């Protein structure tokens, strides 16, 4: 009995520790309040538009998942808050079967638009979309809306990551003094591969003699290995770095410690290291999301493909003017990047996929 | 059955529930700290897992791989091997099944479907067999090898799904989603309830649970595996080739995990893709130990633990708490339930001591190998 | 075709990265080694590392003091070690599963606290690389061995200390006795539970420090689930090391050096597929152990709960 009470006592301590840590900030938990407020506000002002988002990572990953969440939040603010747009999020859905359950459940619960934010979610999405013809679904990264399976309620989106990669490549080539640039990639596939291919093309088009070394870590979430990969790149002579996936948070931190410039992708990564992040190619989801909402309300539940290019505003270049890059260099970079962007937009430059 | 036995049984059944309630109570503190109503949250969890046809179907779907992986864990642990390689074995099994079904897609369904299942099991058995052989003949500890083999399997599949096994349609479309082509429809396991993911793999898992029970307690092979697990030196003394049975328990463990992978592919995804497993290797261990390392006990344990996972996801959706909170509660459930087992063992010992003293020599001690907690510790 | 690897820059770089990568493994594995030597397998290392990483990071974020961060990570790790000890020693629970429970608990709690208290990743200024005067100015050697963050030096110092404590002190003798033959140790007046509590708590503390060595030492940032399975590798390395400090050192160095080697092979564009390169550390660890493991004997009472008068 003595041991049992010891055990209980310990649990209480742990619980209090947890409670104490969590309590002070609890009122700031935004998502939950948002959800509550939305249900309260729903009745008088008419039903809000309801969007569910299923993501493989988290809303604060500084990359793929965060970029769309930020976009949703921006659209929500623009539409007038939770009363007009209700957002539900399922994070860390790395198991496809769980994502399938989530997609079906959101559809069952009357969400107007269910976004499956990962290429791996396609199979369950199509399966559910067949059963809920009145609900809109969205799936990325793909151009497949399931039209060949008779589906008319699936949107598809695929960022042309090579375009943004190309611009970052142009900028990086101009900035590298040693003519060695390092890339920290996750797995040679999908969005990361497109970005890196575009980046290499951009570098080579600007400074043909500059070497671009690419390291893959084999994973998306290995922060420590990504950090060490960045270190390796720097020790091998790179003075400018870039990368893709949520694990680059570790690589950016290494670049910051060593004073090496970084080019961000997917989300604006400047807040991580103001001094050294020069530019970020950012996915701007607001247009895509607004288009999907408008289409849905107009009765078109799917079938559209959004490519997210520089042309349609799906990707934008964010310059960080607080970096330590000298102003005249930054101006040179801006000029070159804008010229390249124009070239991509009018079709005279086609970054390889 | 005397009244004492029944009260013991009741105690044994109620104690884990008390442990779960304790974990939920601490979780309630966390929920309150996050500004949520714990009762509402837990009601969502329970009704989400068991309160509707869709929820129940999701729970049963989740239960299927848990049982299959768990059966492999039961055999391995009973054989004295700590197999934490379920994750890798499952992935390789799924891969083997998919590759086979795609390669021989023209074969008739009645032949292809069972062969695909078997190929999944064989592939998993091969992956488990690597760790098994390393342990049996080269003295490489299985925790080390299975941890490493999990990572290798994951990286291997990542590569195969982007290269040799990539869906030709994906390659043509230039989208390159890392997944294989769909396996032929003749190898899909039938769905049991329309508009849900529940498939016939569940029935297979239930039948196999019974068969594993017979294997372990009604055959010489099973007896030998358990003997090696309980007391290797006694087994050696009795003339059992210990290394062979050590390797065999990992081969069988891998076979069931591989079968789980094949069933997930054939029943659920109809192709091999990333994110197929995502932790069944570990959830299977939890389910197996909740089921007291008994194939039949595994069934309710998997139902419960599957329900917990499904309900927790539902809770995340319904009240938008971070998924991390649910992981915390799951962790506490696991710790408290295993810890509470001490009181069951104590009660049993007290009971058998009393029985011995009152009945004297005529009472036999609890039969070894009846699969109860007396021999829980692997 | 591999001649690029044999330049001073590459060799120094490989060793440099390898030593840094080995740091968290050394802490976690040496701690776990003591726990296992006394008979307790703690599979919760991964969860404790994450809690250590978060708590150390959070303290540095608030106070800016990396030493305080390291201390708090150590205490948090020790507390979680205590939890593991209560469950596995006092409650005599099955160790594998309680460790998995602890891992879930730590993974979840660290992300939850991070979400609630911090929100999104922000860098901190943790330990900076210290250049040891004179020594670090020696060409090559200086670069190789005297340019790391403090936790790295502590990790490597821990190896001889562990060796000394385990093999040359009464405490070490007690630990080994308890893991080898608890009945005999008990009959000689050694308290089996007390020794096991001590080693499991120490193991937890070291796992906490291991996490902090990443979040405030080497990387200086926290991200949810940032250890990404390192805790399990750390447990595996104890087996690789055959429960001996030098063996653990060898395992941690082998795994990390191969990892840094493959990163360098990729940077230098050597004709090795990155897909294969990333598997190398895992494959080689198994292969090397398979070639050398014949002599290793594990502590006889490993994973076996002890109860008096059985």
Q: What is the CATH number of the domain that holds B299?
A: 1.10.3470
Using a CB-CB cut-off of 8 Å, the residues of chain C touching A61 are: 223
pLDDT, tens only, C51-69: 999 999 999 999 999 999 9
Out of B34, B275, B320, name the one closest to residue A22 (CB): B34
Task: Indicate whether C206 belongs to any domain.
Answer: yes
Query: Do C123 and A235 count as a contact with CB atoms less than 8 A apart?
Result: no
Task: Determine the CATH number of domain A162-283+323-346.
Answer: 3.40.50.2300
Q: For B131, name the nearest residue in chain C, comparing CA atoms only.
A: C286
Q: CB neighbours (10 Å) of residue B104? A: 15
Distance CA A68, CA A55 (A): 9
DSSP class of residue C299 equals: -
Q: Do A236 and C116 touch (CB under 8 A)?
A: no
Q: pLDDT of C128-162, one tens digit each?
A: 888 777 777 777 777 777 778 999 999 999 999 99
According to the model, what pLDDT value does residue A144 have?
87
Give me the mean pLDDT over the B39-60 stretch: 92
Q: Is B230 a residue whose pLDDT tops 80?
A: yes
Residue A220 is predicted with a pLDDT of 87
C5-30 residue pLDDT tens: 888 888 989 999 999 999 999 999 99
Q: Which residues pair with A306 in a beta bridge?
A: A157
Helix (H, G, I), strand (E, B) or coil at A206: helix
Scan residues 54-83 of A and list those with Cβ closer than 8 Å to C.
58, 60-62, 66
Residues of A in contact with B324 (CB under 8 A): 92
pLDDT at C105 over 90: yes
Q: What residues of chain C lie within 8 A of the CB of A276, using their CB?
A: none
- pLDDT above 90 covers what percent of chain B? 65
Distance to chain A for C171, nearest Cα, Å: 25
Q: How many domains does chain C have?
A: 1
CA distance A311 to A347: 10
Tell me whether residue C304 is in a domain: no
> Is B338 within the bounds of a domain?
no
Give contacts of B155 with chain A, Cβ < 8 Å: 218
Q: Quick check: B320 and A141 CB within 8 A?
A: no
> In this predicted model, what pLDDT tens digit does every residue of C108-135 receive, in sequence order?
999 999 999 998 888 898 898 887 777 7
Is C239 a domain residue?
yes
Which residues in chain B touch residue A198, judged by CB atoms under 8 angstroms apart? none
Average confidence (pLDDT) over B134-155: 92
Partner residues linked to A54 by β-bridges: A90, A116
Residue C236 forms contact with B (CB below 8 Å): yes
* C270 to chain A: closest CA residue: A213
For residues C229 and B279, the answer to whether their CB atoms sit within 8 Å is no
End-to-end Cα spacing for chain A: 68
Tell me if A37-157+285-306 shares its fold with A162-283+323-346: yes
Tokens representing B97 are: 């099944």
Per-residue pLDDT band for C284 (boundaries 50, 70, 90) equals: very high
Question: Residue C83 maps to which CATH number?
Answer: 1.10.3470
pLDDT for A304: 92
| pLDDT in 10s for each residue of chain A, 353 residues | 444 444 444 444 454 444 444 444 333 344 444 444 444 443 345 789 999 999 988 888 888 999 999 999 999 999 999 899 999 999 989 889 899 999 999 999 999 999 999 988 988 899 999 999 999 999 988 888 988 889 999 999 989 999 999 999 999 999 999 999 999 999 887 788 899 999 999 999 999 999 999 999 988 889 999 999 999 999 999 999 999 988 999 999 999 999 999 999 999 999 999 999 999 999 999 999 999 999 999 999 999 999 899 988 899 999 999 999 999 999 999 999 999 999 999 989 888 76
Strand order in the sheet with A305-306: A85-90, A49-54, A113-116, A136-140, A154-157, A305-306
Count of domains for chain B:
1
Q: Using CA atoms, how far apart are residues B37 and B59, in angstroms rounded to an integer?
A: 24
**β-pairing verdict for A113-116 and A136-140:** parallel
CA A32 from centre of chain: 22
Please indicate if any CB of chain B lies within 8 Å of the CB of C287: no
C4 touches chain A (CB under 8 A): no
Quote the pLDDT of residue C1: 59
| Better pLDDT: A35 or B235 | B235
Check CB contact under 8 Å for B330 and C103. no
Give the model's pLDDT for residue B342. Answer: 86
Going from N- to C-terminal start, the domains of chain A cover 37-157+285-306, 162-283+323-346
Distance from CA of A331 to the nearest CA of B (A): 36
In this structure, how many other beta carbons lie within 10 angstroms of the beta carbon of residue C28? 38
Structure confidence at residue B1 (pLDDT)? 52
Question: Per the CB < 8 Å rule, is B144 touching C100?
Answer: no
Q: If DSSP codes are grouped into helix, strand and coil, which group holds residue A117?
A: coil
Q: Which residue has the higher pLDDT, C1 or B102?
A: B102
C204-228 average pLDDT score: 95
Contacts of B271 in chain A (CB under 8 A): 123
Spatial neighbors of A287 by CB under 8 A, at least 6 apart, are: A312, A313, A314
Full domain range(s) for residue B59 = 37-320
What is the model's pLDDT at position C43? 93
Find the CB nearest B139 among C98, C237, C296: C296
Distance CA A245, CA A234 (A): 19
Question: To the nearest whole angstrom, how far is the Cα of A12 from the nearest Cα of chain C?
Answer: 12
Predicted pLDDT at A293: 95
Q: Is C89 on the interface with B (CB under 8 A)?
A: no
From chain B, pick out residues whose CB is under 8 angstroms from the CB of A52: 317
Q: Which of A6, A17, A227 sits opposite C219 (nearest CB)?
A: A227
Q: Do A96 and B174 touch (CB under 8 A)?
A: no
CB-based contact B138 C229, cutoff 8 Å = no
What is the predicted pLDDT for the residue at C4? 78
Note the pLDDT of residue B12: 81
Fold exhibited by the domain A37-157+285-306? Rossmann fold (3.40.50)
Q: In terms of CA atoms, which chain B residue is nearest residue A143?
A: B175
H helices within A236-285, ranges in order? 248-258
Domain that holds residue C49: 3-119+152-295
Is B179:A191 a contact under the CB 8 Å cutoff?
Answer: no
Question: Is C68 a domain residue?
Answer: yes
């Amino acid at each position: 009995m003595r041991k049992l009470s010891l055990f209980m006592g310990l649990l209480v301590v742990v619980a209090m520790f947890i409670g104490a840590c969590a309590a002070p900030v609890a009122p700031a938990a935004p998502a939950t309040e948002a959800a509550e407020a939305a249900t309260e506000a729903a009745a008088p002002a008419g039903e809000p538009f309801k969007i569910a988002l299923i993501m493989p990572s988290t809303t604060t990953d500084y990359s793929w998942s965060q970029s769309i969440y930020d976009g949703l939040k921006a659209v929500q603010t623009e539409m007038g808050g939770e009363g007009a747009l209700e957002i539900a999020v399922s994070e860390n859905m790395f198991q496809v079967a769980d994502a399938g359950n989530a997609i079906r459940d959101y559809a069952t619960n009357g969400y107007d638009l269910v976004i499956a934010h990962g290429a791996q979610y396609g199979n369950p999405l199509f399966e559910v979309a067949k059963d809920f013809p009145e609900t809109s679904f969205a799936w990325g990264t793909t151009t497949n809306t399931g039209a060949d399976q008779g589906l008319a309620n699936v949107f598809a989106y695929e960022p042309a990551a090579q375009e943004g990669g190309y611009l970052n490549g142009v900028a990086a080539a101009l900035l590298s003094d040693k003519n060695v640039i390092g890339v920290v990639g996750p797995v040679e596939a999908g969005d990361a591969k497109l970005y890196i291919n575009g980046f290499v093309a951009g570098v080579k088009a600007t400074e043909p003699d500059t070497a671009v070394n690419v390291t893959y870590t084999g994973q998306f979430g290995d922060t420590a290995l990504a950090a060490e990969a960045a270190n390796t790149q720097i020790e091998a002579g790179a003075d400018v770095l870039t990368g893709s996936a949520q694990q680059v948070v570790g690589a950016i931190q290494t670049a910051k410690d060593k004073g090496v410039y970084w080019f961000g992708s997917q989300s604006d990564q400047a807040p991580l290291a103001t001094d050294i992040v020069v530019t970020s190619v950012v996915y701007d989801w607001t247009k895509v999301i607004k288009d999907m909402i408008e289409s849905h309300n107009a009765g078109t539940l799917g079938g559209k493909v959004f490519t997210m290019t520089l042309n349609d505003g799906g990707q934008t270049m964010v310059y960080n003017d607080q970096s330590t890059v000298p102003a005249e260099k930054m101006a040179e970079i801006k000029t070159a990047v804008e010229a390249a962007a124009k070239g991509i937009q009018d079709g005279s430059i086609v970054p390889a996929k | 059955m005397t009244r004492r036995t029944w009260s013991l049984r009741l105690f044994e059944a109620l104690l884990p529930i008390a442990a779960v309630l304790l974990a939920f109570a601490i979780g309630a503190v966390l929920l309150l700290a996050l500004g949520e109503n714990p009762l509402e949250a837990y009601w969502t969890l329970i009704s989400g897992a068991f309160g509707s046809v869709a929820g129940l179907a999701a729970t049963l779907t989740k239960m299927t791989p848990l049982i299959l992986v768990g059966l492999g864990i039961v055999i391995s642990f009973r054989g004295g091997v700590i197999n934490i390689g379920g994750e890798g074995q499952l992935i390789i099994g799924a891969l083997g099944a998919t590759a086979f079904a795609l390669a021989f897609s023209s074969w008739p369904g009645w032949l292809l479907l069972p062969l695909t299942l078997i190929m999944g099991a064989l592939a998993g058995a091969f992956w488990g067999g690597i760790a098994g052989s390393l342990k049996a003949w080269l003295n490489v500890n299985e925790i080390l090898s299975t941890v490493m083999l999990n990572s290798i399997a994951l990286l291997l599949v990542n590569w195969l799904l982007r290269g040799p096994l990539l869906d030709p349609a994906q390659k043509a479309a230039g989208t390159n989603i890392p997944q294989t082509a769909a396996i032929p429809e003749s190898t899909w396991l039938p769905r049991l309830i329309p508009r849900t993911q529940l498939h016939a793999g569940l029935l297979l898992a239930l039948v196999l649970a019974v068969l594993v029970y017979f294997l372990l307690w009604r055959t010489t092979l099973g007896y030998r595996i358990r003997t090696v697990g309980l007391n290797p030196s006694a087994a050696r003394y009795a003339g059992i080739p210990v290394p062979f049975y050590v390797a065999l328990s990992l081969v069988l463990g891998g076979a069931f995990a591989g079968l789980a992978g094949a069933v997930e592919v054939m029943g659920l995804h109809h192709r091999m893709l990333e994110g197929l497993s995502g932790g069944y290797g570990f959830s299977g261990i939890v389910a197996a130990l909740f089921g007291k390392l008994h194939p039949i006990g595994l069934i309710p344990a998997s139902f419960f633990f599957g329900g917990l996972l499904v309900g927790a996801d539902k809770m995340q959706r319904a009240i938008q708490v971070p998924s991390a909170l649910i992981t915390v509660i799951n962790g506490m459930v696991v710790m408290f339930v295993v810890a509470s087992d001490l009181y069951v063992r104590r009660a049993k010992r007290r009971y058998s001591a009393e029985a011995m003293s009152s009945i004297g020599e005529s009472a036999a001690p609890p039969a070894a190998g009846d699969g109860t907690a007396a021999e829980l510790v692997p | 075709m591999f001649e690029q690897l044999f330049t001073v820059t590459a060799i120094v770089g490989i060793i440099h990265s390898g030593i840094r990568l080995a740091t968290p493994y050394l802490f976690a594995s040496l701690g776990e080694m003591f726990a296992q030597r006394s008979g307790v397998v703690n599979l919760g290392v991964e969860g404790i590392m994450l809690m250590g990483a978060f708590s150390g990071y959070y303290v540095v974020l608030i106070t800016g003091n990396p030493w305080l961060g390291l201390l708090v990570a150590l205490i948090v790790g020790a507390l979680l070690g205590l939890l593991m000890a209560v469950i596995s020693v006092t409650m005599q629970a099955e160790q594998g599963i309680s460790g998995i429970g602890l891992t879930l608990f730590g993974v979840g709690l660290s992300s939850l606290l991070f979400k609630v208290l911090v929100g999104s990743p922000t860098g901190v200024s943790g330990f900076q690389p210290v250049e040891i005067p004179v020594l670090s100015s020696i060409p090559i050697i200086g670069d190789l061995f005297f340019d790391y963050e403090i936790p790295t030096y502590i990790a490597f110092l821990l190896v001889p200390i562990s060796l000394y404590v385990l093999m040359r002190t009464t405490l070490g003798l007690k630990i080994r006795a308890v893991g080898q033959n608890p009945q005999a140790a008990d009959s000689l007046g050694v308290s089996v539970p007390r020794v096991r509590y001590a080693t499991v708590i120490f193991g937890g503390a070291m796992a906490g420090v291991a996490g902090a060595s990443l979040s405030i030492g080497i990387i200086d940032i926290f991200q949810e689930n940032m250890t990404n399975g390192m805790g399990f590798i750390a447990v595996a390395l104890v087996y690789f090391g055959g429960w001996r400090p030098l063996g653990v050192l060898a395992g941690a160095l082998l795994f990390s050096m191969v990892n840094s080697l493959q990163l360098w092979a990729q940077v230098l564009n050597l004709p090795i597929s990155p897909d294969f390169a990333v598997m190398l550390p895992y494959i080689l660890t198994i292969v090397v152990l398979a070639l050398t493991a014949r002599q290793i004997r594990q502590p006889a009472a490993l994973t076996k709960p002890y109860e008096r008068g059985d």
